[in-house]
Amino acid sequence: MRLLSLIAITCSILVWYSCRQPLPYTTWQVYRGDKASTGYSALNQIHTGNLDQLEVAWVYHCGDAREENRSAIQCNPIVIDNRMYITSPQLKLVALDAGTGKELWKFNPFVNEEATGVNRGVTYWEEGEDKRIFFSAGTWLYALDAVNGALITSFGRQGKVDLREGLGREPSALSVWATTPGIIYKNLLIQGTALGEGYDAAPGFVRAYDTRSGQIVWTFHTIPQPGEFGYDTWDADSYKQTGGVNCWAGMSLDEKKGMVYIPLGSPAFDFYGGNRKGQNLFGNCLVALNAATGKRVWHYQLVHHDLWDYDLPAPPVLLNVTHGGKDIEAVAQVTKMGMVFLFDRVTGAPVFPIEEKPVPASLLLGEMAWPTQPFPARPQPFVRQFYGDSDVIRISDSSYRYVSEKIKGAKKGSMYTPPDTAGVVQFPGTRGGAEWGGASVDPGTGILYVNANEVPLLIKMKAVSMQETGGITQGEKIYTLNNCTMCHGADRKGTPVYPSLLKLHEKYAEKQVSDLLQTGKGQMPAFPNLGAEDKKALIEFLFDRSREAREEARDTAGKNYRYVHNGWIALTDQNGYPGVQPPWGTLNAIDLNKGDILWQIPLGEYPELTKKGVPPTGTPNLGGAVVTAGGLVMIGATRDEKFRIFDKHNGKLLWEYQLPAGGYAMPATYMMNGKQYIVIAAGGGGKVGSPSGDAYVAFCLKK
C-alpha cells in the first residue's frame, strides 16, 4: 500500500510539473515562441485546408499611437495562464484576456516623462507562486507581478534596475536602453541592450541579472578589457573610448547544454574605424557563452572591422540538421548581407565551409579596412550583393533617369565597398537582407524561413575637424559626431521617416529642445552625455544662430578628425520606390540540411504598380514569420499593411487580410479553451514610414 501511495504521489507531482512546463512548440510563453528562437508552432487546428473559415476573433486598441505617424508596435505577444502580455506604442505594458482581448491591467512607466524607444516583447519567470514579467522601457528594466501588474519592490530599486549601471563608465553620461527582451536561464535574466551609434556610444556588455534581486551576477565584456581574449584585436586604448558591440536583437538558449547564443552588433561609430584599428572582436560575432557564468565557449566573427552597420540583426535559430550522413545540433545565424551561417552548436565549427575572400580597401584618411570578409559556401545568399549599372531601377524611363543622375559619381559594386566621400551605393543596405524579424524554422525538416529586404542606400562620408579652432562650429560638430545626421541628414532636411530640423525655432522653444535632448522622445534617444555648454552650442546651431565657414579636415594622423555620413538615406526614385530592379522584399525557404534555397517569392506589393501591369515587386518589410505544423507560414511585415498566410511547402499565397495598420511585428499563435488563435500587432509607422496604428488583431476559426 505504501508503494502504491508513493507511486500515486509521484505521478501527481509529475502531472503537476508537466502542466507547469510549456509543451514543445504548443505554447507561446517566450519571445519568438521558444528559447531556441524557432518561431515554430506544433499547433495545427488552423491549417492549409480551412483558412476560408478564419475570421477576426477580437481587436484590442491601445489608444496611444503618436501623432504624425511617429510611433510603431514591434511587440511579439506572449501568453501564460490565459493572459497575454503586450506593449503599446508608448510602451505601456498591458495584460489581456487571451481569449477575448479584454484588458486586465496596464502599467505606464512614463507617468511623468516622455515615452522613448520601441519594445519587441517581455520576459516571463516563475518560482512557485512568484510570477514575474520583466519589461524594459527607457533606461530601466522593470519587474512586475504577472497577475496584477504591481512592481516587485524587492527587485533592484523599488522594482527596477538602471541599464546604464555596471558598464564601467559614468552611468549618467550614457544612453542605454533595451528594445528586445532578455532570456531566462534558471534564475538568471540574460539581457542585451540598445545604444547610441555615435563616437561616444556606451559599450554593449551583456549582463545576467538575478531574477529575484536584480543584482548583476555576471558580465561578458563584448569589447575585451586588458588581459581578456580578443583585447589585441583593437588599438590598445580602444576599450576606454569605443562603444557599441551590443546585443540589441535578442538571443537564443540551449537549456540542456546551459549555453546561450548571442549575436553582436557593430563597434561605434558604424561607418568609420580609423580610431579603432584592428579586427575588433567581438564586434559582429556570434558568441556562445556558458549561461551560468558568462564565460566564452566559442565565437565566430561574421564581419571583420565593420564599416557598413552590418550588425547581426536577429537571434540565431537552434535546430538539428542532417549533413554528411550525420545528425548535427546546429545554430543558424541570418545576416543583413542576406547570408545564413550554420555552425555546430557545441563546437562552433562551420557546417558548410566558410571562405575568407578579398574585399576593397578604404580611401578614407586613417582608415584600415580589413582585407578579407567571410563568405559561406552554402546556402547561397538570399539577396543580391552587388549593385551595378544594370541594377538601376527600370520600372519607368523617368525612374531610371532620376536614379542614374542621383548616383552619378558614386561608387558601385560589391556590398563590402567601403564608405567614401564620393558616395557609395550600399547594397544590401542597413535594413537587410534579414532584419530583427529574423528567421523561423521547421524543426522536423530543417527548413528555414526568412523575409528579406533589397533596398540600396546612398552613403556619403564627410570629414569633421576635431580641433577647437576647426572650420565648423562647435554646435555642428556635436550634431555630426552624435550622429544626428543619420536620422535627420547632414542638411537637416529629414527623411520620409524622420522629421526635418530646418526652421526648428518655429516649432519649439529653446527650453523644449533642451528637455528633448535630455529625455528623448518616441524613437529619438536621450543624449545625457551633453554638458550644458555643448547643449547650448548644439541649440545655437539648430536655431541657425551661428554660421561659421565649413572646411574638410586634413589631418592624416587620424587623431584630429572624424568621418560622419549623410544618414541612413534609402536610394529611391522620385516616387519613393527603391532605386534597384525588383524584387524589393522577399520571403524565402532554405533547406539547411543541403544548403539549398527551395523557393523565393516577392513579399508584398504596391497596388498602384500592379494596376499598371508591373509584376509584384515585394515591399520593404519589418517583422518576422511564424511557421506551423498546419503547413503555414504566417507574416505581416509589409508596407501594404496586409497579414498573409502561405503554404510552407511551395510559397503559395493561401489567405490575406488587410490590417488597420502595418503589422511590423512577429505574430504569435496559441491554444485557449480548445481553440487556436493567431495574433499580430498592427502598429504601422516607425522606420517603414506608413501610418501609425494602435491595434492588436486576433484570429480564430469560425464556430
Chain segment 580-592, per-residue pLDDT in tens: 999 999 999 999 9
Residue 24 pLDDT greater than 80, yes or no = no
Looking at residue 50, its amino acid is N
Residue 369 pLDDT greater than 60, yes or no = yes
Distance between CA atoms of residues 522 and 500, nearest Å? 15
Q: What is the pLDDT of residue 495?
A: 60
How many Cα atoms occupy the beta-carbon half-sphere of 23 within 13 Å?
A: 10
Q: What is the pLDDT of residue 25?
A: 86
Q: Across-strand partners of 462?
A: 564
Distance between CA atoms of residues 145 and 152, nearest Å? 6
Q: 337-347, pLDDT tens digit by residue?
A: 999 999 999 99
Interior angle at CA 498, CA 495 and CA 499, nearest 5? 90
Question: CA dist 233 to 277, 380, 396, Å?
Answer: 8, 30, 48
- Secondary structure letter of residue 474 according to DSSP: H
SS3 247: coil
**What is the bridge-based pairing of β-strands 461-465 and 561-565?**
antiparallel
Nine-digit cell at 582? 525588383
- Whether the ω angle into residue 583 lies within 30 degrees of 0, i.e. cis, is yes
When comparing pLDDT for 703 and 416, which is higher? Answer: 416
Residue 306 pLDDT greater than 60, yes or no = yes
Q: Which residue from 304, 226, 297 is spatially nearest to 262, judged by alpha carbons?
A: 297
| Residues 86-115, mean pLDDT to the nearest whole number | 95
Looking at domain 12-456+571-701, what is its CATH homologous superfamily?
Quinoprotein alcohol dehydrogenase-like superfamily (2.140.10.10)
| Residues 24-48, mean pLDDT to the nearest whole number | 95
| Residues 505-514, mean pLDDT to the nearest whole number | 70
Output the average pLDDT for the chain: 89
How many Cα atoms occupy the beta-carbon half-sphere of 463 within 13 Å?
A: 23
Cβ(697)–Cβ(84) under 8 Å? no
Contacts of 474 (CB under 8 A, 6+ apart): 468, 534, 537
Q: 541-582, pLDDT tens digit by residue?
A: 777 665 433 333 343 444 566 888 887 789 999 999 999 999
Q: Residue 20: pLDDT band by 50, 70, 90 thresholds?
A: very low
- The percent of residues above 70 in pLDDT, for the chain, comes to 85
Q: Residue 15: pLDDT band by 50, 70, 90 thresholds?
A: very low
Q: What is the pLDDT of residue 560?
A: 60
Q: Residue 530: pLDDT band by 50, 70, 90 thresholds?
A: low
Residue 483 pLDDT greater than 60, yes or no = no
Sorted by where each begins, the domain ranges of the chain are 12-456+571-701, 461-565
- The percent of residues above 90 in pLDDT, for the chain, comes to 75
Looking at residue 221, its amino acid is H
| Residues 614-638, mean pLDDT to the nearest whole number | 97
Question: CA dist 561 to 235, 269, 504, Å?
Answer: 17, 13, 28
Q: Which residue from 397, 394, 424, 388 is spatially nearest to 409, judged by alpha carbons?
A: 424
Q: What is the pLDDT of residue 467?
A: 57
Cβ(345)–Cβ(319) under 8 Å? no
Is the pTM for the entire model greater than 0.85?
Answer: yes
What's the residue count for the chain?
A: 703
Residue 4 pLDDT greater than 90, yes or no = no
Signed CA dihedral, 655, 661, 667, 672: sign only: negative
Q: What is the pLDDT of residue 523?
A: 61
Lowest mean pLDDT among 65-74, 243-252, 298-307: 65-74
Nine-digit cell at 29? 510563453
Nine-digit cell at 455? 533596398
Contacts of 702 (CB under 8 A, 6+ apart): 53, 54, 55
Q: What is the pLDDT of residue 16?
A: 35
Q: What is the pLDDT of residue 553?
A: 35
How many Cα atoms occupy the beta-carbon half-sphere of 696 within 13 Å?
A: 32
Q: What is the CATH number of domain 461-565?
A: 1.10.760.10
Contacts of 491 (CB under 8 A, 6+ apart): 566
Most confident among 150-159, 236-245, 536-545 (mean pLDDT)? 150-159
> Strand locations in 314-433, DSSP E?
317-323, 326-334, 340-344, 354-358, 372-376, 386-387, 413-414, 424-426
Q: 239-264, pLDDT tens digit by residue?
A: 888 999 999 999 999 999 999 999 99
Q: Residue 526: pLDDT band by 50, 70, 90 thresholds?
A: low
